Structure formats: structure tokens, C-alpha cells
Amino acid sequence: MPKTNPLRKYLRKDSLPHFFCPGCGAAQVMNFFLIAADDIKLDFDKLVAIGGVGCTARIPVYLKTEALHGIHGRTLPWATGIKLHNPELKVVIFAGDGDAAAIGGNHLIQAARRNLDVTMIVVNNLNFAMTGGQVAPTTLQDLVTTTTPYGNREEPFDLCQLAISAGATFVSRWNTHRSYQAINAIKKALQHKGFSLVEIVSQCPVNFGRRGIGTDDPGKCIQWIKKNSITLKKAQELPKQEKTGKFILGNFVEIHKPIFEGSSIYCEQGAK
Amino acid sequence: MLGNHAVVEGALAAGCNFFAGYPITPANEISERMSERMPRVGGKFLQSEDELCSIFSVTGAALAGGKAMTATASAGFNYMQEGIGYAVAAEIPCVIVDVQRCRGENYATQADVMQMRWGASGDHELIVLAPSSVQDLFDYTIKAFNLAERYRTPVIVMSETTIALMREKLVIPNADRIEIINREKPNVAPEEFIPFKAGPDGIPPLPAFGDGYRILHSLNPHNEYGGINWEPDVFESMYTRLIGKIRHHCNGIVQTEKYFLEDAQIILIAYGSEFRPALDAVQRARNNGIKTGLLRLITIWPVPEKEILAVAKQASAILAVEMNIGKYAGEIERVASGLCKTVRVNKNRGFIHTSSEIYSAIEGVVQ
């Protein structure tokens, strides 16, 4: 009897086959999420998966759950309306670095500040992959993309530091090489009450690897990410200049604060 | 009551339980009153970080089962077009109030009348209502919710500085005398439900997130099952249904009012606050023996084509009265298609027409 992947039951059959390129990190992260969700027995009837536009944003299209997809950068506003109206729903956002750090950047800051009770999984593949490999706010300096033919002249964003500064209550960064830690971080984030962000540095062999680091081999791309990643503990011992261009991995923040329930809450006189 | 406050009371009477807004004059009184009233009736109020957040949180709340609304003014309305387009394509019932303003401030205008209809990219139909008084703002906000729920589509209330910041008498009927329409939910189990398959009326039922139906909502072309599909046939049939569900129901959607039309030779067509000086001018003309009438458009989109055509067949001249450079006049001329003379009566300087100005325009046609 042919074996079926046990996680296949979570997939929306009429959306398959998926559109990810061979070796794509976003597909790997979808797998991470399903392993984590299966492990904590997430109720898919009460789950809303949200994607904006981009490769990562396609993940919700393949999940057999309530799903919302198709507008670039507006995942968190959707999530805000959903969570305020029905706090019982679990909301998970799948965002690429374009959705999260470029067009949707302000929404990220505000949702973190409010401690909106959602999980945001950011697949950071360091470029605008779906549109053909343009430079992103996360692209490292000097790398070649389709809109930085002479090398990127901009400083890259550190999404995790941004989320922490804005008030996010769970923040973690791993990469596709550290699958065990990434799955664990997603699991923790899903169980966290408040705004949780898990960034996963990920390979895009076709549109980033080829131009940015000179290889379209997924394995070599992952090796490049591995080589440029350091743990939080190690980073604390290194001088600043040696951390430039490195992906610092770890669970940065896990704290508890009241969650967002609306901008105006009525309470009886004297009550708090 | 203040016009902007009447909008809030109308929304709450209609069952609105989610409101999001970003500060902008002259719509602020809507947000301010909502922030006070909404939490006391068990709803949620959000002061959003921008108008994009307003419109998308509204569509999110609506899909979660809420009756949701946002309000803004012209400059903020620009930002909402993306979300309005999404709400049309994904068939999300919600209400948007645009309090039109011009000259960068609270000056009177009807300059957004085309943006109401054509602001979003892609093909779509939209329902837009044009109140002309504080009472209308209450009544038509309720009607906007009812139309949104009935046709599973965003509905826009085209307010104006003139009425939004006006205080007038408002009669709020008892709740049992207000008609409330709520969206149709599926009556079959999730495994039998085909989410975007519609009956003859073209409007598929809409469950809420969490009801167990696990539906994929996307702007991308989708088949009846909700799966993204790039086939030209899927795209074409999806948009044929989306457009058709409004166009085929024009009789149920369109609302107009007719004044002194029986024997009228010169007929004014006006909407929104311009209806008020227009009616005044028509009465004055009648007093002076000029056979004048007035067609008031309450629904401005979809265009009340049947009513405008009937007027064009009857009149020797139509006067299209508007507070802008002459925009909706193009629609009136299109429908009249040369059956009678059409004259544009425009004012675009931040003030409403006086009835004397409109009366002069009537006299100009007589001579």
C-alpha cells in the first residue's frame, strides 16, 4: 500500500499541486508549521490562516482551514478585525519579507505595539521572489538582485529587533537549516497569548540564490545561510563588526502582557 | 442631531458591531461617537493606524461574522480603494461612509462621485447611496447595511460636509419598526457546501470564520470551490456573476424620488445635498408658472437608468445639478442619449448651490 504523508490531511486538495519552486524554503516552512500544528493538535475549524501576496503568502491557499489571501501587506489589518470580532479564533499569518518588512511594515509595528493575539510566521528569503528577485528591505548589503545589478547599497532590516522594540511579546528567529528549533519556535508561538513573531531565514534558490550568492542549488543555498548564521549566545560574545551580515538565531523574547481587545473598552465607573 | 452622529445611530440600529476609523475631518464625529457607543452595546471599536487598516480590519471582522463599517473623508477614501476592490471580489458585506470634502478642508463638494464607482482597480459594480439630510444619514446607513448583507457586497454611503456637520431633527423609530436584513448562511453541512456556487440570484451564502466550513477567500480568480484558478473561463464566469448579481437586481436596489414630474418640461436631476436647493428652485419655478420637475437620485450607483430614461423621453431639457466640475452629468447624458437637451449646472468652489443660482439656470433654459 502506498504511504501518504500523515500531514496531507491538513492540505486543501483542490489547491494542489503547490506552486513552490523545487528547493523553496517557503514550502519547507509550511511543513514546519504543519508538524507544529499537528503536534499541539491545533483545531483547524477555528484556525484562520492569512497570506498577503508573494510566495510565502501562498501557504494559506494550500491549508484546509479558514483562509484569507491576496492583498499585499494587509494581513495584520485583516487579523485585527477578525480577532477583535471573534477572539476565539486562532489567527496565523504567513508573510514574506516583502509583506512584513516593506509594504506592511507599519501594520507590523502597530500590531506588535498593541500585542494583538496572533502568530506571524515570516519567511525571510531576502528578496522579492515571486516578482523575479528584486531587492528587499531585508537583502544584505552588496548582494546582486534584479534591481541592484551593482550590489545592494541599503542597510538591511532586522525584523526581530523591530518587533521587539515595538512591543512584541514573543520573538524568535531560526533558519531552514535548524528545522528542529524552527518547529519548536512555531509551536511555542502558536501557544503564546499575544503577538508572536517567528522569522525563518530561508533559501530562494531560483530568484535569490542564482544572482545574490551565485548558486541555484538549494543545498548550497542552505549551506550559505548556515555559514552566515550565529546563535544568540555566540553573538553576545562577538564584537559588533563581526556580526554585520550575520543572522542571529534564537528565542529573543517571551513575556506576557494584556492582549489587544479594542481601542475603546467601556468599564463601569470605579471599575478598572 | 449632528449628521455624523446620525450615521452612528443608524449603524447601531442596523446591528453594526465593528467599527474602525482613522482620524480625518469632517468624519471625526463618527469615530468619536462610535468609540463611546460601540463598547457599550457589545461591539468593537478600533482606531486604526491608517485607512488601509480601517478597510481591511472591517473586511476581516465581516468575514468573522460581524457587521462592520468604516468612515472617512475624501483624502482618506483614496487609501481605501484597495480594500473596497477586495471586498467586491471576495464578496464581503460591509459599509463605507465617505464624507466628501474639498479645498483641503471642510468645504462642500460632490467631487468623489466617480471615485465611489470607479476608484478600485479591476471590473466591479458598486452600490452607492446619496443621503441629503440628517434623517437620510440615519435611514440610508441602515439601508446600506441591508443592501450589503443582501447582495454580499460593500456599500458606500456618500455623505457630504454639508449634511455631516449639519444639525437637524432626527426621528429614530422603535427597533421593531426598522427592517434588518442579515446575510444568508449555508443550510448544508460543510462537506456538501460549495462556497462560491450561487443560486439563481447569484449570491452565495456566507458562513462566518469558525463555523467549520474552512473556506479560502482570495482576490485571485477562484472557481466555485474557492480554489485559485487561472483559466480564462473561471475568471470570466466569476466576474459575470459578480457584476450580474448587482445589475440583475437594479429594480430592488435603485431608489429615486420624483417631484412635480407629471407635466414637467424642464426636469432637474440632483442627488445628495444638492437635492435641497434644487427642490426649492423647482417650487419657485412652479410658482412662476414654469413646468418644472425634479428627479432625485438616492441610489447613484448603479445608475437609475430606467428612471433617467423616462425623464429624458418626457422633458424638453434636463438640468444635471452637481457640486463639482460636472461628473455624474456624463452618466445622465449617456442614458438620455440625445432624446432631449441636457444642461450641466455645476458649482465647484466649496459651497452648495443656492436655490437662486439653480432657479437662474432654469430661467436660462426657458429663454
Q: Is B17 inside a domain boundary?
A: yes
C-alpha cell at B150: 443582501
Residue B48 sits in a domain of what CATH number? 3.40.50.970
Percent of chain A with pLDDT over 70: 98
Asked if B168 and B286 sit in the same domain, the reply is no
- Mean pLDDT for B73-101 is 97
pLDDT single digits (tens) B246-256: 999 999 999 99
| Residues of chain A found within 8 Å of residue B215, distances taken between Cβ atoms | 66-67
What residue in B sits closest to A59 (Cα-Cα)? B216
pLDDT single digits (tens) A60-90: 999 999 999 999 999 999 999 999 999 999 9
Asked if B293 and B160 sit in the same domain, the reply is no
Total domains in the fold of chain B: 2
Under 8 Å between Cβ of B272 and B110: yes
Please tell me the distance from the alpha carbon of residue A226 to that of residue A42, in angstroms, as a whole number. 30
- Quick one: how far is CA A239 from the chain centroid? 28
Please tell me the distance from the alpha carbon of residue A63 to that of residue A11, in angstroms, as a whole number. 5
Q: Which of B123, B154, B177 is the last residue of a domain?
A: B177
Under 8 Å between Cβ of A202 and A213: no
Q: Is B60 inside a domain boundary?
A: yes
Q: Closest Cα to residue A211, out of A158, A125, A133?
A: A133
- Mean pLDDT for B134-140 is 98
C-alpha cell at B155: 456599500
C-alpha cell at A251: 528565542
Confidence of residue A270 (pLDDT cuts 50, 70, 90): low
pLDDT single digits (tens) A85-128: 999 999 999 999 999 999 999 999 999 999 999 999 999 999 99
Helix (H, G, I), strand (E, B) or coil at B272: helix
Q: Closest Cα to residue A248, out of A161, A122, A185?
A: A161
**H helix intervals, B152-293:** 161-164, 232-247, 250-253, 275-287
Q: Is B142 inside a domain boundary?
A: yes
Q: Is B229 inside a domain boundary?
A: no
Residue B273 sits in a domain of what CATH number? 3.40.50.920
Percent of chain A with pLDDT over 90: 93
What confidence score (pLDDT) does residue A269 get?
Answer: 67
Contact A15 B227 (CB under 8 A): yes
| Total beta-carbon pairs less than 8 A apart between chain A and chain B | 147
C-alpha cell at A23: 528547493
Domain around B307: 256-366
Residue B21 Rama label (left phi>0; alpha psi -120 to 50; beta): beta
| Residues of chain A found within 8 Å of residue B35, distances taken between Cβ atoms | 263-264
Q: Which of B156, B177, B198 is the last residue of a domain?
A: B177
**Residues on chain A bordering chain B, Cβ-to-Cβ distance under 8 angstroms:** 12, 14-15, 44-46, 48, 60-61, 64-71, 73-74, 76-82, 84-86, 88-89, 106-107, 110, 261-266
Amino acid at residue number B304: P
What confidence score (pLDDT) does residue A14 get?
Answer: 86
Asked if B29 and B143 sit in the same domain, the reply is yes
Provide the ipTM: 0.96
pLDDT single digits (tens) B156-170: 999 999 999 999 999
Q: Which of B152, B177, B202 is the last residue of a domain?
A: B177
| Residues of chain B found within 8 Å of residue A45, distances taken between Cβ atoms | 210, 212, 214
Asked if B21 and B153 sit in the same domain, the reply is yes
pLDDT single digits (tens) A116-165: 999 999 999 999 999 999 999 999 999 999 999 999 999 999 999 999 99
Please tell me the distance from the alpha carbon of residue A84 to that of residue A89, in angstroms, as a whole number. 10
To the question of domain A17-229+249-254 being in CATH 3.40.50.970, the answer is yes
Confidence of residue B113 (pLDDT cuts 50, 70, 90): very high
pLDDT single digits (tens) B192-244: 999 999 999 999 999 999 999 999 999 888 999 988 888 999 999 999 999 99
Q: Is B242 inside a domain boundary?
A: no
- Mean pLDDT for A195-208 is 98
| Residues of chain A found within 8 Å of residue B18, distances taken between Cβ atoms | 81, 84-85
Asked if B22 and B145 sit in the same domain, the reply is yes
- What spatial distance separates the first Cα and last Cα of chain A, rounded to whole Å? 62
The residues facing A262 across adjacent strands are none
Query: How many residues can be counted in chain B?
Result: 367
Helix (H, G, I), strand (E, B) or coil at B76: helix
What confidence score (pLDDT) does residue B360 get?
Answer: 98
What confidence score (pLDDT) does residue A271 get?
Answer: 52
Residue B366 Rama label (left phi>0; alpha psi -120 to 50; beta): alpha
Q: Is B241 inside a domain boundary?
A: no
